[in-house]
């Protein structure tokens, strides 16, 4: 069972990390290269689709990492799990207000405020990329060292 939860932790964490980094390095910069209305119109469905995938991966990775620790794999599995799991409250507390503002009905999608919110969103999302990258590095290090 330990091998299964370790595998799930590493797989879900690294998939989350890859998606998060892709969003920050490729998708969001490409989105921002468009005029503001087009960028905002593309952001909304992309955000909604990515939420399902990334939330699932973060939760699976967190639960699997904690399970590995509970099954005796060592405290660093808990550290990796907490780093990955931290993206969930960070998203709800820090990123969600920006998301809700961007999704407000009647928002002027061409406004400078919308552009600033999209830029802010990218910076906030980068925190998720860093947290998940750190978690991935911890998990991979554990696989290599043990």
Question: Dihedral sign, CA of 94, 86, 58, 34?
Answer: positive
Separation of alpha carbons 131 and 84, rounded Å: 6
Domain count, the chain: 1
- Identify the domain containing residue 63 by its residue range: 2-145
Express as a percent the part of the chain with pLDDT over 90: 99
Q: Select from 128, 3, 17, 146 the least CA-distant residue to 76.
A: 146
Contacts of 22 (CB under 8 A, 6+ apart): none
pLDDT at 146: 78
DSSP tag of 74: -
The whole-number average pLDDT for the span 74-79 is 97
The whole-number average pLDDT for the span 57-84 is 98
Neighbours of 136 (CB within 10 A): 24
Inter-CA distances, 45 with 1, 49, 97, 102, 105, Å: 37, 6, 17, 12, 15
pLDDT-based confidence at 74, cuts 50/70/90?
very high
How high is the mean pLDDT of the chain?
Answer: 97
The whole-number average pLDDT for the span 18-40 is 98
Tell me the per-residue pLDDT of 103-114, one tens digit each, with 9 for 90 and over.
Answer: 999 999 999 999
């Amino acid at each position: 069972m330990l091998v299964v939860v370790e595998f799930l932790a590493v797989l879900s964490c690294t998939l989350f990390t890859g998606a998060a980094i892709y969003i920050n390095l490729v998708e969001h910069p490409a989105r921002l290269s468009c005029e503001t209305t087009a960028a905002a119109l593309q952001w909304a469905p992309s955000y909604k689709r990515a939420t399902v995938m990334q939330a699932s991966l973060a939760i699976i990775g967190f639960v699997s990492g904690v399970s590995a620790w509970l099954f005796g794999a060592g405290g660093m599995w808990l550290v990796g799990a907490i780093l990955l799991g931290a993206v969930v409250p960070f998203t709800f507390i820090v990123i969600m207000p920006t998301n809700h503002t961007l999704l407000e009905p009647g928002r002027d999608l061409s406004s400078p405020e919308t552009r600033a919110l999209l830029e802010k969103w990218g910076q906030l999302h980068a925190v998720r990329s860093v947290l998940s990258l750190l978690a991935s590095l911890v998990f991979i290090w554990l696989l290599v060292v043990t």
